[in-house]
Amino acid sequence: MTQTTHTAIADQVDDSHHPKSFISKYVWSQDHKVIAIQYSITAIGVGLVALVLSGMMRLQLGFPDQFSFIDPSSYLQFVTMHGMIMVIYLLTALLLGGFGNYLIPLMIGARDMVFPYLNMLSYWTYLLSVIVLLASFFVTGGPTGAGWTLYPPQAVLNGTPGAENGIVFMLISLAIFIVAFTMGGLNYVTTILQARAKGMTLMRMPLTIWGIFVATILGLLAFPALLVSAIMMMFDKLVGTSFFMPAILSLGENIDHKGGSPILFQHLFWFFGHPEVYIVALPAFGMVSDVIATHARKNIFGYRMMVWAIVAIGGLSFVVWAHHMYVSGMNPYFGFFFATTTLIIAVPTAIKVYNWLLTLWQGNIHLTIPMLFAIGFIFTFTHGGLTGLMLGNVVVDLPLSDTYFVVAHFHMVMGVSPVMVLFAAIYHWFPKVTGKFLHTGLGKIHFWGTFLGTYAIYLPMHYLGFLGVPRRYFAMGTTDFIPESAQALNASITVSAIIVGVIQLVFIFNLIWSVFKGKKAGDNPWNATTLEWQTTKTPPVHGNWGPSLPVVHRWAYDYSVPGVKDDFIPQNVAPDQVIMIEKVEGAENVEGMESNQKGDNT
């Protein structure tokens, strides 16, 4: 009787998606690494469009009525497109589509995603969503100017910029994006659960993978709320239904809607919207943890606590959404509930900040460019989080909700902080992707200009909020309660914003120049422990690992282990291969001994 053995998904070799030509290798590629680069280039490209839009908004705010190409309608369109592109099409796509695609198989010891063809489809569907979104700039009336939250009835009524065609293109684009995310998200979750290398238990996974894993689950649960709300609003606009449209007068005429609930849309949007904050934040939390541990040469403090904090944040993110809706009016008991859950979710978030600081404490800190951005993230995220605690309180939020205080808070938490981690991650993993270092001198200019510049933008913006300066206004006009100094401050913010924007061009130049002229990095330039740095070739070839997959023997953070010759032990090094230092009669003899398995019991 013959006995058959089951081959794990991670060990299965499937030649069907190996590239056979230039097109199949670089265009219709099924290699997760190429798809990750495609996602990244597209996301960064559309992100630069959003950066230009923000610059034009700031020109109007800093120097009102000085630019003829910025009128009230175009200003509102810039606000809307900037916000939606940055949150959805840049941050979500780059963190999950870019870094998620590249790092998941490499960090868990797999050859590729378990569904390579589906992975390819997810990118091209994402690209289609971006094309549809940008096409709205060229239709009659231009893109929608309803604000990035797209609140009805304003979003679909005549008089709102882009109400004819722009809002339809926006809603179609969002629906296509969600289809792309669902294809990619199911792939990520299945790969992490089913394709880990031998020995890679869940509690040996790097925190980057934990962050991506939980964020993907959040997206799979939260994006359907945005999908159905987009479809329902499209029906309201095109078919004449009344899901969100009440009986209303528009431009002096009754419109053919009645019985709809605009508040229902707000609930659906923010049921997606607040988990979306953590869909962006959790991968960033994981990546910054790995960067800090590697460049501080110290194991991450409280690994299990960090894992459970990620899981707790993910669960709690679904019960805090209505703190975005205090000004919409709600029963005081509901206000109390959502204020309380907002404070509770700050606890696991604070645990992560403490653990990052304790990881740095007495570490052998190397102030590389990735580490500078990681430390900068701790500052910006802490400051943004503290103002979030303020806004979580109902009586504080009501007077500040429609002011620049919220703009400043949101950008510190959702804009600056994730972008700081993205830069840290790009500088950290660029040598693995290309085999080259990014230029250190240009990197320092990029970091200090970005870090100091963002504080020059958003610290004064908090003060404008306290003065009561309203957000989303094209021009302030003559307002008694706003002093003249506020306009001078706005001009200062605009100058700082333009400088920060120009500095990002230094980063883009550094990226392109380093691909061709950068200093060679080697296989493991940071002396890191995680599996992606242990591949047989750099950059990794298709299939990642050559003839045999790695076997994992320990957790991901064996740095500066006492008694070990090197200050790091890679995850795939067997215990009997670890070189220990043994002191014999005052001399140090180096010999192979078995490492203590601190990581296995962590």
Q: Contact 227/578 with Cβ under 8 angstroms?
A: no
- The answer on pLDDT for 204 being more than 90 is yes
pLDDT value of residue 26: 80
pLDDT value of residue 586: 46
Residues facing residue 591 across a β-bridge: 580
Q: What is the pLDDT confidence band of residue 595, given thresholds at 50, 70 and 90?
A: very low
- The answer on pLDDT for 381 being more than 50 is yes
Percent with pLDDT over 90 in the chain? 82
Task: Of 270, 271, 285, give the one whose Cα is nearest residue 215.
Answer: 285
- The answer on pLDDT for 228 being more than 90 is yes
Hey, where are the domains in the chain? 29-196, 201-246+261-366, 396-540, 549-602
Report d(CA 286, CA 184) in Å as an integer: 19
Per-residue model confidence as pLDDT tens digits over 511-549: 999 999 999 998 999 999 999 999 989 999 988 998 899
Percent with pLDDT over 70 in the chain? 93
Q: What is the pLDDT confidence band of residue 590, given thresholds at 50, 70 and 90?
A: very low
φ/ψ (deg, to 5) at 591: -150, 160
- The answer on pLDDT for 11 being more than 70 is no
pLDDT value of residue 592: 42
**Mean pLDDT, rounded, for 218-230:** 97
Per-residue model confidence as pLDDT tens digits over 71-84: 999 999 999 999 99
Report d(CA 374, CA 393) in Å as an integer: 29
pLDDT value of residue 13: 56
pLDDT value of residue 409: 96
- Report angle CA 217, 44, 100 to the nearest 5 degrees: 30
Neighbours of 352 (CB within 10 A): 24
Amino acid at 279: I
φ/ψ (deg, to 5) at 6: -85, 135
**Mean pLDDT, rounded, for 241-259:** 85
Query: If you average pLDDT over every residue of the chain, what do you get?
Result: 91
3-state secondary structure of 584: strand
Q: What is the pLDDT confidence band of residue 462, given thresholds at 50, 70 and 90?
A: very high
The total number of residues shown for the chain amounts to 602
Amino acid at 441: G
Q: What is the pLDDT confidence band of residue 15, given thresholds at 50, 70 and 90?
A: low
Q: What is the pLDDT confidence band of residue 16, given thresholds at 50, 70 and 90?
A: low
Report d(CA 418, CA 285) in Å as an integer: 9
Q: At what angle do helices 262-296 and 207-238 cross, to 10 degrees?
A: 160
- The answer on pLDDT for 597 being more than 60 is no
